[in-house]
Amino acid sequence: MINPLGGLGDLQKLQQHAQQMQQALQQEQVVVEKNGVRVVVRGDQVIHEIEIDGIIENRLAEAINEAIKKTQELAARKLIEISQREG
């Protein structure tokens, strides 16, 4: 007999791996310094800090992070729309 929920365990395992990877990426940072600008970005693509000519500009980081979040939400909505059209 075929178990229609057999793939559920695999899905849960995949979700656990994704969460572990997300947590690991949050611990990593990339620092880029160029033309008097220093940007610190976490591995999960969140801007941790922006420094311009020695002055920390976290307002700028907050605005960019909000813009990125909105584009991710837009992409998620578009993906849902596309998958509903196909289904």
pTM of the model: 0.68
19 vs 38: which has the higher pLDDT: 38
pLDDT for the residue numbered 17: 86
* pLDDT one-digit tens code per residue, 23-39: 888 899 999 999 999 99
Under 8 Å CB-to-CB from 64, ≥6 apart: which residues?
47, 50
Overall average pLDDT of the 39-44 stretch? 94
Here the tokens at position 15 are 């979700």
HSE-CB at 86 with a 13 A cutoff on CA atoms is 6
User: Where along the chain do its domains lie?
Assistant: 29-86
* pLDDT one-digit tens code per residue, 50-62: 999 999 999 999 9
HSE-CB at 71 with a 13 A cutoff on CA atoms is 7
